[in-house]
Amino acid sequence: MNKVIAAALLAACCAAQAQTPPDVAAHQRKELRHGDPARWYKADRSTAAQLRTLRKEINAAYAEAKIGCKKMAADERSDCMKEARDNYAADMSNMRELNYAANHMDTSVYETTGR
């Protein structure tokens, strides 16, 4: 089973790589040689910085959802776009609550058996 999943992931990566324009791929290889940007390891300390990051993440999720919807059949596309817009609006209106929940996560052990 794991070999099947690995093969599927490899196929997806190859397909994504094949769709990357050559100039973009060259730029990505150049960036990868430099390693991870330092900003990736710098925590967003202030609430304003955390909310800016969360806003970027919500916008990115919405953009990905729209791309996925555009690949659907025409009769399913409008429902998908409506759901994407609704999720986006809900996330944007609840940003402060989402940020609070992320900063105050309980690290206790949870029962996951459903009992």
For the chain, first and last CA: distance in Å?
Answer: 28
Residue in the structure block whose two tokens are 């430099």: 34
Taken as a whole, the chain contains a residue count of 115
The angle at the Cα of 45, spanning 57 to 58, to the nearest 5 degrees, equals 10
Please give the pLDDT value at position 32.
86
pTM above 0.75, yes or no: no
Q: What is the pLDDT of residues 7-48, one digit of tens each?
A: 555 555 555 555 778 888 888 888 888 888 777 788 778 999
Q: Which residue has the higher pLDDT, 57 or 106?
A: 57
- CA pair distance 10, 18, nearest whole angstrom: 12
Q: What is the pLDDT of residues 49-85, one digit of tens each?
A: 899 999 999 999 999 999 999 999 999 999 999 999 9
Please give the pLDDT value at position 24.
87
